[in-house]
Structure 1
């Protein structure tokens, strides 16, 4: 591989690893907040116990999110010096403020983890809200830098490369910032909820003790409600993102749909793959007029095709596949959540708390599928911008390092990430085996019994 391709693979692997932990940090923190809130309102101790156990997961995940995020930040300078030369002058604000967002998340999590048993329920809600707020703010700030790469604003560049007329806040609030930040947040909340759905469904398949089943039943019902709401909002925000592409990155939208000729009443291509040589979609199904509706909410919206742009600026042909997989996973997950809630509603009307085994097995897969959806979404966002690092201003080749011998570093870091993934899995499994739910329920019931005995005397 050439240096540019190696740099892209190296950085992409690092980001793909880190994004899992960053996403779950937002999503699971929000689930902890909701669980604590329900506990505060209903005084159902099962929700307090859920929050306590989920917090241990977040603490373990944060232990890997910190070093992996640091590696990504360092690699920006080492692998993309041409890019950082412009970033340092125009959009350094989100990178600087993100440090404070991370500080808020880490501090609030420390308070919550080590002082939760000593804090009143209302204070615990506030503490875990600050954890979720810090994690979300961190993601939004980094998203600003990514959206600026897609829709650069807040500066001018002279022919000799000199940066002038810098407006950091205009760069921060670039044209695609609000829509993309919203999409990132709701998709992270969706993913965190589906991970809880996946674990709760798995535990319901395995649990035999009745009280354990009640806890997992409540966890599944709560997380299904959140996952359905966030899946629906993610789909709506995805529609807004497509319209943003129509206005600001028409090549990416055209590549995502394999559209070569500019036209009104443009069809939406589902499935298949793009053949750039023959300029057509192979084995895909076209839905008449729907791309025009997606782009402009009208059947007669004119959508630009790839033929309107120089061949060297076309995004990779696999952009269409990435887009299809991302959207397909999102629709499948929305269907899973809707089906789960429908079954829950029907069972509740009958006064039961029984989940069909086939449904639980489907829901077990929802967590991994949601994480795959996040990965494909980020790959689509970054690869679909190629050959640009900063759209219309700087190519990836211009931004990349000129250093040689990246291959060995790429292999070593990939092995490190695999090692960290194994370690996280082992630590997580070992912790929850040593602290099973049944043991914590027994401790809780003993505590209730002691309190009741004390009150009678």
Structure 2
């Protein structure tokens, strides 16, 4: 196995692990904010308990997101020196601004956690809002580097030298807004569905305890409603992303749909897998004209096929499967949200049957899987380029060697970190069961300030 494959595997493993905590670190503050607002509006003590307990989980997750994000930054410099040379000259701006975004998030997270009983209700909402703002800004700024890789702008290369650098043009590259929007709404969706999953599981465990069941039902409905809204927005944003691919990375769109020949009235192929030899998608279901409409809002849009490009420029054809998995999970999550809303609000049922709660318990893990599939699709679908049509991945990888040993060591570190997070969360919430908090309002809930 050559250095390129091992380097990509190492960095991919690092980002795959980090993105779990980064996504939840953006999504959970939104849930905390909504629960805090609902408490202030309704004076329902249950929402204050939710905010407090979710904040504890957020603090643990943030404690892992920070070091794994640092590791990812170090690995960028160690594994991809040629890439970082370009980024350092052209696209350093997001990294510089992200420091301030993280500072805002960490500062107000500390205020919200340690001074909640000493500040007014309005200041608690302001604090958690700024936590959300800092976390969201961090995600947007770091993701903008990925957007730049797909739609580079703001510089020229002449005789191997980088010239005419315009940092703001690079920052506001063609896919900045769409990519930023996608990472934000998908993170919000994930945080909401993770809360819904935990609540559904607790409802199954406490179906005979009416007080606990009611508390967790409120959390479930909050998660399903917010998750449903942002899963729908994620789908809309995905439509915009497909149009960007059609305009700027047509071979990536063709690989995502297993389209080999340039076609107008192109069908959208759902399911199956791409077969290189027959140049078709085996066992896929075609939706007539849908791909053309997805690409440019017109059924007669001509969609460029893979055969228009040299085969060495083709992305790996398995990206079709990744794309289908991502879209399929997103559609299922929307269905979950609609079902829960109809059952509670339309049919006015206070108790959910077990057969309905069980699917809800997997909503959170499914949303994380969708993010993982989407991230792998986004990065793998850009190959063989690290900066599209400018810099190949194989040309910027390190030549220092010993990457295989690093891959093994870091994988062990991530396994230990992952196990530690689960154990810490389980230990804390087992030592502090929710029933001890439900009927004992703290000074925070009583509105006492110092």
Please, what TM-score do these two structures have when normalized by structure 1?
Answer: 0.96
> How far is 1:447 from its partner?
11
Distance between the aligned counterparts of 2:121 and 2:441, measured in 1? 16
2:300 maps to what in 1? 300
Q: Tell me if 1:189 matches 2:188.
A: yes
Cα separation, 2, equivalents of 1:300 and 1:446: 64
Q: Which residue does the alignment assign to 2:370?
A: 373
Compute the RMSD of aligned alpha carbons.
1.5
1:395 aligns with one of 382, 392, 398: 392
Contact 1:22 1:65 in 2 (8 A): yes
What does 1:83-232 correspond to in 2, within 5 Å?
83-158=83-158, 160-207=159-206, 208-232=208-232
The one-character-per-residue Cα deviations of 1:284-320 (angstroms, maximum 9, x if unpaired) are 1111111001101111001000011111000001011
Equivalent residue number for residue 454 of structure 1: none
Distance 2:23 2:211 in 1: 31
Moved more, 277-286 or 234-243: 277-286
Structure 2 SS opposite 1:443: coil
Output the CA distance in 2 between the equivalents of 1:303 and 1:446.
62
- What residue number does 2:81 align with? 81
Measured in 2, the distance between the counterparts of 1:261 and 1:411 equals 42
Query: Would you say the 8 A contact 2:314–2:383 is kept in 1?
Result: yes
Rounded Cα–Cα distance in structure 2 between residues aligned with 1:264 and 1:211: 59
Q: How far is the alpha carbon of 1:119 from its aligned partner?
A: 1.7
CA contact (8 A) 2:117 2:444 kept: no
Rounded to whole Å, the distance in 2 between the matches of 1:284 and 1:323 is: 13
Q: Confirm or deny that 1:433 pairs with 2:430.
A: yes
Following superposition, the deviation at residue 356 of structure 1 comes to 1.4
Secondary structure, counterpart of 2:259 in structure 1: coil
Check whether the contact 1:224–1:340 (CA below 8 A) recurs between aligned residues. yes
Q: Distance in 1 between matches of 2:282 and 2:404?
A: 35
Q: Does 1:358 align with 2:349?
A: no
| SS at structure 1 position matched to 2:264 | coil
Which is further off, 336-345 or 246-255?
Answer: 336-345
Q: Which residue of 2 aligns with 1:54?
A: 54
How much has 1:444 moved relative to structure 2? 2.7
**Structure 2 length as normaliser, TM-score?**
0.97
Secondary structure of the equivalent of 2:129? helix
Distance in 2 between residues matched to 1:447 and 1:114, nearest whole Å:
12
CA contact (8 A) 1:388 1:396 kept: yes
What residue is the counterpart of 1:455 in the other structure?
none
Q: What are the Cα deviations for residues 157-179 of structure 1, in whole angstroms up to 9, with x where unaligned? A: 11x21001111011011000101
- Provide the residue aligned with 2:379 in structure 1: 382
Q: Matched residues in 1 for 2:217 and 2:11: separation?
A: 40
Select which of 438, 443, 449 maps to 2:440.
443
Q: Which residue of 1 aligns with 2:29?
A: 29
1:104-145 residue CA offsets vs partner (Å, 9 max, x unmatched): 111110100001122221111100001111000000001111
Identify if the C-alpha distance between structure 1 residues 134 and 426 changes in structure 2 by more than 3 Å, giving closer, same or farther.
Answer: same
Question: Which one is further off, 123-132 or 274-283?
Answer: 274-283
Partners of 1:90 and 1:154 within 8 A in 2: yes
User: Pairwise mapping of residues 193-342 of structure 1 onto structure 2 (< 5 A)?
Assistant: 193-207=192-206, 208-342=208-342
Counterpart CA distance in 1 for 2:9 and 2:179 is 24
CA separation of 1:303 and 1:34: change in aligned 2, threshold 3 A:
same
- Larger displacement relative to structure 2 (415-424 or 401-410): 401-410
Structure 1 residue runs of 4+, over 4 Å off?
A: 445-449
What is the Cα deviation at residue 98 of structure 1? 0.6
After superposition, what is the alpha-carbon deviation per residue over 1:258-278, rounded to whole angstroms, capped at 9, x for unaligned? 111111001111111111222
Which residue of structure 2 aligns with residue 406 of structure 1?
Answer: 403
Partner of 1:418: 415
1:364-416 residue CA offsets vs partner (Å, 9 max, x unmatched): 01000000000000000000000000000000001111121211110110010
Q: Is the 8 A contact 1:347 1:354 kept in 2?
A: no
Distance 1:447 1:182 in 2: 34
Contact residue 155 and residue 171 of structure 1 kept, 8 A: yes
Q: CA contact under 8 A between 2:45 and 2:438: conserved in structure 1?
A: no
5+ residue gaps, structure 2, are: none
